[in-house]
Structure 1
Amino acid sequence: MWRTLAGAVAGLLVLFVGSLAFNAASGQSRWPGPLDLVRVHPWVVLLALIPISFIGLWQAPRRDRTQDPPAPVTYRLPPRNTNFTGRDATLRELRQRLTSANDVAMLAVHGLGGVGKTQLAVEYAYRYLSKYRFVAFVDAEHPDLVASQFVSLAGELGLAEVSSDQVVPRVYGKLRDRRPWLIIFDNGEKPGTLTHMLPSGDLAGNGQVIVTTRVSGWSSRADVIDLDVFTRRESVELLVRRVPDMTATVADRIAEQLGDLPLALEQAAGYMGYNHTTPEAYLTLLTSRLEDMIARGELTDRPTVVVATLWQLSVRRLETDRPQAVRLLELCALLAPEPIPLDLFTGSPEVLNGAAADPLVWDTTVGALAGLGLARRGDASLVLHRLVQAAVRAAMPDEVHTDTRVQLCRALLAAVPHDINGDPDARPRWQELLPHVIAVTKDEPPAECAAQTAVLLRLASEFLLSIGDRSPALPLCERALAIDESLGGRDAEVGFDLITLAQIHRDLAAPERARPLAERALRLHESCLPADSPAIATDLATLARILCLLGEHGAAQPLAERALQLDEAAYGPDDPYVSFDLVALANVHVDLGDYATAVPLISRALRIREARYAPDHLYIGYVLLFKARVLHTLNDPTAADLARRGAQILHTQLGRTHPKTEEAVALVNRLR
C-alpha cells in the first residue's frame, strides 16, 4: 500500500511541476477542472505534497524489510524426523509456555529415556523455525564437553579467539543481535551441572532455552513439561505408517508389549524393515523373547541407540553412588510392570540388606530411581516401565537373577494374606500383589524357593477362585501340585493343592474330575493331620458339594454335617469358616428339595458374614444370591430385594461383564 501511495505522490509532483511549466508557457487564465486549484494556490499544494511523499517513500522499504525477514541460522540442529508422530498438543503447550506473558524463557522437557524428548524438541525447532533468527542444538549429556561446543558456537557467531571463561557471556551477548533465538540443551543432567552454561539475568529475556532431561529437580530453574509415552493411538499410527502389511490389531499388540515407548516402536519398525519380518512373526518373537528383541533393530538417525542399553549410564551411576538402589532396581525388574507396593520391601528388610529399615536411607534409595527417571514414585509405590525392567533383567548375571527371585518369593510369601476366606482384608491386598506373584512364579523355580513358589501359586489360585476367575486359577494350581509332588514329603501341602484343584473343577462344572481329587486330599490329610483339623473340614465340605452335583445326596449330607461340627469346635459358632460349612450343608438340603431346612442355614451364614466382612464383600453378595434363589422357590416376595443387593455387590466388585455378575443380573430379571 505504501509503495503505491509513494508512486502516486511522485506522479503528482511531476504533474505539478509540469503544470507550472505549462502555465508559464501558455499564459492561460484558467486550467481545466481541479487543476485550476494548482494554478491559484501552487505553493499550498506543494507544501502538502512534500510531507506525504516523504512518508510514503520512508514506509515502503521499511514494510518491505518486515515482509522479507532474514532466513534463520541453525547450529548443529539434527535433521528433521520425517516419521515424527503425534505430540501435537504437547508441541502447542511447549510453544505457549515459551511465549507466555510471564516471559518464561526456559523450559525443561522431562521424561523416561526413549520417550521422545529429543525428537519433540527438534520437531518444535523445525515447526517454529520461522519464528527465530538463530537456533542451536547442544549435546549436554556430558557437562564437561558443553564448553567446547560453546567455543564452536562462538565461532559460528563470528566471535574469534574467545577464552573458555568468557565464551558463555560472549555468546549470549552476541545473540542479542540475533533475537529471538532458541538453544536446545539435549539430555541435560541436574541443573547444577549446567548452571554456568544457561543464560541468566537480562540474557534470559533475549531468547528461549529448552532442556531435555531424564533427571528430576529442574522445577526450581525452569518450567517443566513431563513427557509420557505415546498414547496407544499414536503407537498404532506410527507402526501402521512405517511397516508394510501392519494391521491396527497387530500394531496394538506390539505396542502393548513395548509399553508404547516411542524409541522401542521405532526400533521395532527398523527391525521389521531390515529383516523383512512380518508383523505377526515379530509379535511372536517379542512375546517370547522380549529381553533379546530390545537389543535388535536400528534407528536410521541413531544406529548405535537401542532400548537394551538406553539406561546403562544411569545404572552405572547408581552402582557408584547408591548400590542399594541398584539392588532395588533388580528386585523391581522381576516384578510386574504394575505399581509395586513399597511395603513389600519394608516388610522384609533383609532383601535389601537393611536399607529398607532406616527411613532416611530407604527414602533416598527409592528417590534415586525416581530421580534418574528409572521409575515413577507414588505415595506408597514404584512403577517401572516394562522395557526398563526387561533391560535390567537382560543385564543381570544368572546367579544374581536366581538370588533375586528367591528373595522375592520369600518377600511375597510374607506379604500376601494366606487366609483368603477368613481374612476380610485379603481381597484388596491380593489384587495389589497378584500381578507380582504371577510374574515371579511364571518360570521354573530355583530349588532354593521351589516350596515357596508352590505355596504362592496355590494361594493365587485360591484368590482367583474366590472372585470367580476359575479358568486362570486352574493352571496355577496344577503347577503348584506338580511342584509339591516333585519335592516329596509334603503330603499336607499336596492335600491343600488337591482340594483347591477339586474346588476349581467343581466350579467349572466338572464334578467327575473334582471327586477323585477331593477324595485323595481327604485321605492325605486324615493320614498326616490331627483328626480335628479344620483342613479336614474343608475337604469334607468340598467333597459334599461335589457329591451333590453328582446326585449322591445321601452320601453328601453326613460329610457336610461333620465339616460343620469340626469348624464349630475349632473356631466357634460365628467364624467365617463356619459360614462356608453352613452354605455347603444348605446346598445338600436344596438338592434334596428340603428348602425349608436350607433357609435358616443360609440365614445364619449371612449373619456371620455380615458381622465379619465389609457390607460390599463378595462373600456377602454370594450368600444373598443363594438365599434369593431358595426363597424364590418358596414364593417368598423378599427374594427380589435380596437378589438386587447381591447383584449390586458383584457388579461393584467384579464388574458388569464378569460371568458371576451376568448370572446375578439374570436372576434379578427373572424375579421381577
Structure 2
Amino acid sequence: MWRTLVSAVAGLLVLFVGSLAFNAASGQSRWPGPLDHVRVHPWVVLLILVPLALIGLWQTPRRTQAPPTPFAYRLPPRNTHFTGRDATLRELRQRLTSMNDVAMLAVHGLGGVGKTQLAVEYAYRHLSKYRFVAFVDAEHPDLVAPQFVALAGELGLTDVNSDQAIPRVYGKLLDRRPWLIIFDNGEKPGTLTHALPSGGLAGSGHVIVTTRVSGWSSRADVIDLDVFTRRESVELLVRRIPGMTAPVADRISEQLGDLPLALEQAAGYMGYNQTAPEEYLSLLTSRLEDMIGQGELADRPAVVVATLWQLSVRRLETEQPQAVRLLELCALLAPEPIPLDLFTGSPDLLNVPAGDPLAWNTTVGALAGLGLARRGDASLMLHRLVQAAIRAATPDPVLNEARVLLCRALLAAVPQDIHAEPDARPRWQKLLPHVIALTKDDPPAECAAETAVLLRRASEFLIQIGDYSVALPLCERALAIDESLGGRNAEVGFDLITLAQIHRDLGAPERARPLAERALRLHDSCLPANSPAIATDLATLARILCNLDEHSAAQPLAERALRIDEAAYGPNDPYVSFDLVALANVHVDLGDYATAVPLISRALRIREASYAPDHLYIGYVLLFQARVLHQLNDPTAPDLARRGARILDTRLGKTHPKTEEAFALVNRLR
C-alpha cells in the first residue's frame, strides 16, 4: 500500500511543482517561506522530484488480465484421499503435451486399479491449463451422443440433435482451446469412434480414455496402470485409519493385492464400523470372499469389489461361455502365473477342441481382452480379488466340479518321480502354488484320494529343496485324508515315510522313528518283499537310527535297501544313489570313513550321469564327500565343498539354511 501512496504523492508533487514553475515564469517577485526556493530554482527542484515520481510509478502494482476461469462439465469431485501415482501423473502430462493437435491417451488396467481417479486427479491438477474440461461416461456407447447434446447446451449451442451434437461440440471447442475431455470406462475403440475427434475437427485438445479393454494402441497412446506399490498401499491405510500401524497395513495390503479400490473399501469399512485393524485383518484372512462385498466408498456407494467385474462376466457368458469356464477354474488356483499347458494337457477341463489353436487362443484372449487376467507367453494370471469375486459368485456345485477336474489335471501335470525326472524341479516350482491353493480346503469326496497324493508329492518336492516347515502340514493333511478313507495301507505307508523324512531333517529323529517303523510294517504287509517302496522305508529308517546312535541296527537295513533297488532298477539308477548315501552315512557315523568314500563316489557318478550339473542332489553329495575326505586329510575336499556350495547358492539362494551351512563348511576347510 505504501508504494501506491508514494506514487500518488509523487505524481501530485510533479503537477504542483510544474504549476509553480509556470507561475514563477509569469513574473511573481517573491513566494512565501521556503517555497521561494522553488521560484528561484524551479528546474533544480523538478530534476529532484521527477525521478522520485518515476520510481513511485514504476513500483505501482500493474494490473494484469486474469486468465479465464476453466469451464468443467460433469467433472466428479476431487478425491481428497488421492494417494501416490505422482510418476504416472507426470508421465500422463508429458505424453499429452508432447503430441500435436489432438492428443489422445488411453489409461488401461484392471477394474478397481484407479484409472478414473487418476484421470480426475490429472484434470484438477492441470485445471488452470485448460479453458474447457468435460467428463463423459463411455461405458454404454449408445449414451455418449446424448451426453454431447447436453454438452452442446452448456457451450451455448441450441437446437442440436444427437446426430449433430458431436461434430458441433468439437467445432465450438475451436474457440475454447486448449480443452480436455475424459471418456470414462470406454469399451473397444470401435464403439467410440463416432465420439472421438479426428482430422481437423478440433485442434489443441487432449483426450483421455480410461478402459479395461485391450486393443487401444492403434488409436491412442496407452498407459498400463498397475495396482499400487506396497508403499502407496500402506500410506493410504495409515493415513485413513487411526491406530493403523505399518506392519498391519502391509499385511492387509497383501491380502487385498494392493488394489486401490479394495483399499479404499477397507478404509471405509473400518471407519464406519470402528473395526480395529487387527480384527479386520483377521476377517480378511478367514473370510475374503465375504469381506470384498463389505464397506463402501463415500463418492461411489454402489461400487464394491465383489460386483466390480460382474458386467464383464455377463458379457463373456453371452459371447464366450468357455472363457467363463476357464475363469471359474483359474479362480480356484493361486494368484500366480498359471501354465496354460495345464489346460491344454487336460481335455476334460474345457470343451475347447484341443486341436483348434484359434478357438483356444480366443478363449484365453477373452479374459485378457476384458482385463480379467494378464496373459504371459505361456501363462495366465488373475488378481487375487478377481479370483475371490468369481468364487463368491459361483454356485458351490460348479466350484466342486471344477475342484475335482483341476485336482486330476494337476496330478497328471506334476512330475510323478521327483527324484528321477531331470526337469521335475522347475515344473514343480511353477505348479506348487496352485497345488497348495487348490488343496487348502477339504476336498470333495470325488477327489479325496487324488488330493492326498497331490499333498504328499508336494511335500516330497519341498523336502528336496529343504522347505520342511511348509512340507510338514501338507504331509500331515495327506496322512489324515488317506487314513479317513480306509483300505489304503500302501498310500498311508507312503505318507508315513515322507513324514518321517521331514521330522528327521528337522532334527527330531525320535519322532521320525515310529513313523518310519509303521510305514515299513504296512508296506511289508501289502507289498512284495522286493518292492522299491520297502527299500525307501529301509534306507530312511537306517538314517534315523544313525541319528539315534543305533548304528549296528542301521547297517543291515541300509544294505538290504541297496540290494532291493539294485535288483529293481539296475546298478546305475538314481534311486540306488540314495541307498549308497544312506549306507555311507552309517559307516561315517561308525567312524569308518575309508569304507564310506567309495560308496559316496559311486553315488556322485550316478547322479552326475542322471542330473544336470547344477542339480541339488549333486550339490548335496559333493558336500557330503567333502566332509568325509576332510576327515581323511584329502586335499581335494575344499574344492568339492566350494563346488557343492555354489550349486546350493544357485538353486536355493544365499539365505537358505542349507546354503549357509554349505559356505560354513567351505570356510572351515580353508
TM-score by length of 1: 0.91
| Deviation of 1:627 (Å) | 0.6
Say which is worse superposed, 568-577 or 202-211, in terms of deviation.
202-211
| Matched residue, 2:567 | 569
3-state secondary structure, aligned to 1:445: coil
Distance 1:64 1:95 in 2: 31
Instruction: Note the alpha carbon deviations across 1:454-494, whole angstroms, 9 max, x for none.
Output: 00000000000111111211111111111111112222111
Structure 1 residues 236-255: aligned runs within 5 Å: 236-255=234-253
Which residue identity is paired with 1:427?
A: R
| Of 349, 365, 375, the match for 2:347 | 349
Distance 2:516 2:76 in 1: 69
Between the aligned residues of both structures, percent identity stands at 83
| Deviation of 1:355 (Å) | 4.3
Which residue identity is paired with 1:656?
A: K
Distance 1:104 1:199 in 2: 7
- Tell me, yes or no, if the aligned pair for 2:174 and 2:203 is still in contact at 8 Å: no
Unpaired runs of 5+ residues, structure 2, are: 28-40, 47-56
Distance 1:223 1:34 in 2: 70
3-state secondary structure, aligned to 2:163: coil
| Deviation of 1:323 (Å) | 0.3
| Of 229, 246, 250, the match for 1:231 | 229
| Matched residue, 2:203 | 205
- Tell me, yes or no, if the aligned pair for 2:562 and 2:576 is still in contact at 8 Å: yes
| Matched residue, 1:338 | 336
3-state secondary structure, aligned to 1:138: strand
| Matched residue, 2:36 | none
- Tell me, yes or no, if the aligned pair for 2:102 and 2:207 is still in contact at 8 Å: no
Instruction: Note the alpha carbon deviations across 1:598-633, whole angstroms, 9 max, x for none.
Output: 001101111111111111111011001101111111
| Matched residue, 2:164 | 166
Distance 2:324 2:508 in 1: 48
| Deviation of 1:652 (Å) | 1.3
Aligned Cα root-mean-square deviation (Å): 2.7
| Deviation of 1:407 (Å) | 0.6
Instruction: Note the alpha carbon deviations across 1:206-263, whole angstroms, 9 max, x for none.
Output: 3111000000011111110000000000000000000000000100000000000000
- Tell me, yes or no, if the aligned pair for 1:324 and 1:355 is still in contact at 8 Å: no
| Matched residue, 1:39 | none
- Tell me, yes or no, if the aligned pair for 1:345 and 1:356 is still in contact at 8 Å: no
| Of 362, 371, 381, the match for 1:364 | 362
| Matched residue, 1:40 | none
| Of 324, 327, 330, the match for 1:326 | 324
| Deviation of 1:296 (Å) | 0.1
| Deviation of 1:410 (Å) | 0.6
Unpaired runs of 5+ residues, structure 1, are: 37-55
Distance 1:618 1:399 in 2: 43
CA, structure 1 residues 104+606, in 2 after alignment: closer, same or farther (shift >3 Å)?
Answer: farther
3-state secondary structure, aligned to 1:382: strand
1:99 counterpart = 2:94 = no
Distance 2:619 2:370 in 1: 46
| Of 596, 620, 641, the match for 2:639 | 641
Distance 1:595 1:449 in 2: 49
| Of 376, 390, 393, the match for 1:392 | 390
| Matched residue, 1:620 | 618
| Matched residue, 1:126 | 124
Structure 1 residues 273-422: aligned runs within 5 Å: 273-422=271-420
Distance 2:25 2:319 in 1: 99
Distance 2:471 2:367 in 1: 34
| Matched residue, 1:84 | 82
| Deviation of 1:644 (Å) | 1.2
- Tell me, yes or no, if the aligned pair for 2:101 and 2:205 is still in contact at 8 Å: no
Which residue identity is paired with 2:372?
A: L
Distance 1:161 1:23 in 2: 73
| Deviation of 1:20 (Å) | 13
Distance 1:574 1:304 in 2: 67
Distance 2:79 2:489 in 1: 64
CA, structure 1 residues 163+19, in 2 after alignment: closer, same or farther (shift >3 Å)?
Answer: farther
Which residue identity is paired with 1:549?
A: N
| Matched residue, 2:50 | none
Distance 2:325 2:237 in 1: 35
Residue correspondences, number: 647
| Matched residue, 1:135 | 133
3-state secondary structure, aligned to 1:354: coil
Moved over 6 A (4+): 17-26, 31-36
Instruction: Note the alpha carbon deviations across 1:288-335, whole angstroms, 9 max, x for none.
Output: 000000000010000000000000000000000000000000000000
| Deviation of 1:502 (Å) | 1.1
Which residue identity is paired with 1:236?
A: V
Which residue identity is paired with 1:431?
A: Q
| Deviation of 1:526 (Å) | 2.2
3-state secondary structure, aligned to 2:605: helix
